[in-house]
Amino acid sequence: MKLVFASAFALVAGYSVYASQKKVEMSDLAMANVEALAQNESGEKYTKLTGQCPDPISYKRWVSCKRGGKEECYPSDC
């Protein structure tokens, strides 16, 4: 009798959890954001060119990016 009661309880609890779940839908704005973020993941790589900045900031390096290559690149100046 205990086994039947425990099985019935587990069945009711499982169905309650299943029935309470809602399908998650993204808004149009959220989908637009996802698409915008995914555009930069096309696999396009760059050739990175670097050089020493002039005095008084010679401790820094400038970076220039040219399309085509094998690495990611983020340009910066002195």
46 phi, psi to nearest 5 deg: -130, 165
Place of tokens 């340009």: 75
- Residue 78: inside a domain: yes
- Residue 32: inside a domain: no
- Residue 55: inside a domain: yes
Question: What's the CA gap between 73 and 28, in Å, rounded?
Answer: 31
Count how many domains the chain has.
1
- Residue 16: inside a domain: no
**Per-residue DSSP letter, 58:** T
State the pLDDT at residue 42.
Answer: 58
Domain that holds residue 73: 43-78
- Residue 58: inside a domain: yes
Q: Average pLDDT by consecutive 10-residue portion of the chain (78 residues)? A: 88 86 77 74 79 91 89 87
Chain Cα centroid distance, residue 11 = 38
- Residue 23: inside a domain: no
Query: What value, to the nearest 5°, has the Cα angle with vertex 60 and ends 57 and 77?
Result: 95
- Residue 26: inside a domain: no
- Residue 68: inside a domain: yes
With residue 46 as reference, give the H or E element that holds it: strand 46-52
